[in-house]
């Protein structure tokens, strides 16, 4: 029992620290996930949605601290009870997500490690068992170091967590685990390899045979049944390959400019996924940066999920000399967490992503070209017969 408690203590503590730090690296992303849980169709707690970011920060910092406290043996009773309550709550959420298929990714490890709902639930069951072992064998949990050093360790961990949380909020995540990290070519990320696995479906054919209902299940072959077909139901047995980037587009007035923009040799993109909640002071710094980029010959555009009247009102207010295009909000939130922000590309490859607080770090070179305007519709090559 002593050995089991010792191993469980280290495993649970390290896992809580790693999980918490991954989410603390991107608290905005975790707040998006909490927002999914608070939605009316899930837990129906819409009054908590405005506080999702604050809750996200508190949860992940507490998660890291519990891991540290468990390992050093600080406040044993409080730590064990907190771990137990937290894992019971997380187990409920992951079971709810898996059973009702409400939230397909719990965000336990952010974007660093994607788990299916049932995998997340299984992980929490294992943690629940290990924490119960710790609770049962709590007498074997002896503190490391002196009381003073333990207190300093926990306090220092708290200060570092607060610093990291505030730092990534004022800038961007220290490590980018998403599909749009710097160095990624968006065009390549949207392509499906020719030998990629295809989705596998199961078909349930429902027949009326002499007044009796008969169900034949197969992979899509037309069953030779002497009866009346009442219907057919399909289910996915195995998901096919999905490109890491699958919801990105650049549109305006019903015209798709995605291909053209991703072929631009020097493109600067201002991203503001939702103008209603955008930090408007950011556009002051962005205005200066985009004006400089335009003078140097860059193609400058904005992309947002907000409506055209809203974006036109914004450009007039801040005298922004570039057009806005439409893109799905989820895609924009995935690309970059700052709202607004700047992304620099060359032929679809992401070279820089900057929080509006960091636009002074934008690296531009002088180019002789005429900036693109969205006046002429682009005809896709694949649409020509």
pLDDT tens profile 251-276: 999 999 999 999 999 999 999 999 99
pLDDT for 373: 55
Short-list 322, 206, 330, CA closest to 264: 322
Average pLDDT score over the chain: 90
Short-list 238, 239, 240, 245, CA closest to 191: 245
**53-100 confidence digits (pLDDT tens):** 999 999 999 999 999 999 999 999 999 999 999 999 989 988 888 888
pLDDT for 375: 52
Q: What is the pTM of this model?
A: 0.83
Cα four-point dihedral sign 29, 31, 33, 39: negative
Listed by start position, the domains of the chain span: 2-170, 200-238, 251-383
Cα four-point dihedral sign 242, 52, 34, 20: positive
Question: What's the whole-number mean pLDDT along residues 138-161?
Answer: 94
What's the angle, vertex CA 74, arms to CA 73 and CA 76, rounded to 5? 75
- Assigned token pair, 76: 């044993």
Residues 189-197: contacts with CB within 8 Å, 24+ apart? 189/243, 189/244, 189/245, 190/243, 190/245, 190/246, 190/248, 191/243, 192/241, 192/243, 193/241, 196/240, 196/241, 197/238, 197/240, 197/241
pLDDT for 67: 96
With a cut of 60, say whether residue 335 has pLDDT above it: yes
Q: What is the CA radius of gyration of the chain?
A: 26
Q: What's the CATH class of domain 251-383?
A: alpha beta
With a cut of 90, say whether residue 338 has pLDDT above it: yes
Greater pLDDT, 372 or 214: 214
Q: Residues of the chain with pLDDT > 90: what percent?
A: 67
**For the ranges 81-95, 137-151, 221-235, which has the lowest average pLDDT?**
221-235
Short-list 258, 239, 250, 242, CA closest to 191: 242
Burial of 210 (C-beta count, 10 Å sphere; 0-12/13-18/19+) = exposed
With a cut of 50, say whether residue 198 has pLDDT above it: yes
With a cut of 70, say whether residue 382 has pLDDT above it: no
Residues 377-380: contacts with CB within 8 Å, 24+ apart? 377/255, 378/255, 378/256, 378/257, 378/259, 378/260, 380/256, 380/259
pLDDT for 369: 58
pLDDT for 12: 96
With a cut of 50, say whether residue 381 has pLDDT above it: no
Using CA atoms, how far apart are residues 95 and 91, in angstroms rounded to an integer?
6
pLDDT for 94: 87
| Residue that the structure tokens 């790693």 belong to | 18
Short-list 203, 202, 200, CA closest to 240: 200
- What is the band of 240 on the pLDDT scale with cuts at 50, 70, 90? confident
Q: Residues of the chain with pLDDT > 70: what percent?
A: 95
pLDDT for 374: 54
Question: What's the whole-number mean pLDDT along residues 7-23?
Answer: 95
**90-139 confidence digits (pLDDT tens):** 899 888 888 887 777 777 787 888 888 888 899 999 999 999 999 999 89
With a cut of 70, say whether residue 379 has pLDDT above it: no
With a cut of 90, say whether residue 41 has pLDDT above it: no
């Amino acid at each position: 029992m002593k050995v089991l408690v010792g191993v469980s203590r280290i495993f649970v503590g390290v896992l809580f620290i790693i999980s918490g730090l991954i989410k603390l690296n991107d608290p905005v992303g975790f707040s998006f996930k909490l927002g999914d849980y608070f939605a009316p169709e899930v837990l129906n707690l819409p009054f908590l949605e405005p506080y999702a970011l604050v809750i996200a920060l508190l949860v992940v910092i507490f998660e890291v601290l519990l891991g540290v406290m468990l390992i050093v043996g600080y406040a044993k009773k409080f730590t064990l009870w907190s771990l137990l309550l937290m894992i019971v709550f997380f187990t409920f959420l992951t079971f709810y997500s898996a059973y009702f298929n409400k939230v397909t990714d719990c965000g336990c490890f952010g974007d660093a490690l994607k788990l299916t709902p049932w995998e997340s639930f299984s992980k929490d069951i294992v943690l629940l068992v290990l924490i119960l072992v710790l609770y049962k064998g709590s007498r074997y949990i002896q503190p490391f170091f002196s009381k003073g050093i333990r207190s300093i360790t926990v306090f220092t961990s708290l200060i570092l967590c607060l610093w990291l949380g505030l730092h990534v909020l004022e800038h961007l995540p220290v490590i980018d685990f998403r599909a749009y990290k710097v160095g990624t070519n968006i065009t390549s990320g949207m392509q499906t390899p020719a030998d990629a696995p295809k989705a596998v479906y199961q078909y349930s054919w429902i027949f009326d045979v002499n007044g009796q209902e008969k169900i034949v299940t197969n992979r899509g072959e037309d069953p030779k049944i002497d009866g009346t077909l009442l219907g057919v139901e399909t289910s996915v047995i195995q998901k096919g390959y999905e490109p890491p980037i699958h919801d990105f587009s650049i549109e305006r007035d019903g015209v798709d400019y995605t291909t053209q923009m991703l072929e631009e040799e020097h493109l600067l993109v201002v991203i503001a996924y939702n103008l209603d909640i955008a930090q408007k002071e950011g556009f002051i710094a962005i205005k200066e940066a985009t004006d400089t980029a335009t003078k140097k010959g860059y193609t400058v555009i904005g992309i947002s999920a907000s409506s055209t009247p809203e974006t036109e009102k914004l450009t007039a207010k801040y005298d922004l000399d570039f057009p806005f295009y439409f893109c799905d909000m989820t895609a924009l939130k995935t690309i970059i967490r700052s709202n607004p922000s700047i992304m620099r590309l060359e032929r679809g490859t992401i070279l820089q992503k900057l929080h509006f607080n960091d636009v002074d770090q934008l690296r531009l070179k002088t180019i002789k070209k005429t900036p693109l305007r969205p006046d002429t519709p682009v005809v896709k090559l694949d649409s020509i017969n």
